[in-house]
C-alpha cells in the first residue's frame, strides 16, 4: 500500500477531522482513508447510479426485455 503526506493543512481542518474520527470511533488515519476512498470511487458510483436510473426508466416504459442470448446463439450456429 502507498503512503501520502499532506502538508500545510489548516490546524482547524485537522481538529475537525480528528473530531469526526473520534465521533466515528476511528483513528484519524482510518477516517482519512475512508474519506479518500469514498472520494476516489464517487465518480464510478455516480455513473453506476445514472446507468441504473436509465435502465429503470426504460424498464418502466417498455417492460422487462427478454434475454437475447439464445436467439443470437441460434443465429450464429445457423450460419456455421
Residue 43 has what pLDDT? Answer: 97
Question: How large a percentage of the chain has pLDDT more than 90?
Answer: 92
Q: What is the C-alpha separation between 50 and 23, in angstroms, rounded?
A: 32
Residue 55 has what pLDDT? Answer: 94
Residue 22 has what pLDDT? Answer: 98
pLDDT digits (tens, 9 = 90+) for 38-75: 999 999 999 999 999 999 999 999 998 889 999 999 99
Residue 80 has what pLDDT? Answer: 79
For residues 40 and 26, is the Cβ–Cβ distance under 8 A? no
pTM: 0.65
Q: What is the C-alpha separation between 22 and 31, in angstroms, rounded?
A: 9
Residue 15 has what pLDDT? Answer: 98
Residue 1 has what pLDDT? Answer: 82
Amino acid at each position: 500500500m502507498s503512503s501520502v503526506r499532506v502538508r500545510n493543512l489548516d490546524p482547524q481542518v485537522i481538529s475537525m477531522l480528528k473530531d469526526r474520527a473520534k465521533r466515528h470511533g476511528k483513528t484519524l488515519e482510518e477516517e482519512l482513508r475512508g474519506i479518500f476512498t469514498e472520494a476516489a470511487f464517487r465518480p464510478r458510483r455516480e455513473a453506476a447510479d445514472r446507468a441504473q436510473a436509465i435502465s429503470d426508466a426504460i424498464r418502466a416504459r417498455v417492460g422487462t426485455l427478454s434475454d437475447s442470448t439464445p436467439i443470437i446463439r441460434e443465429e450464429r450456429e445457423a450460419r456455421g
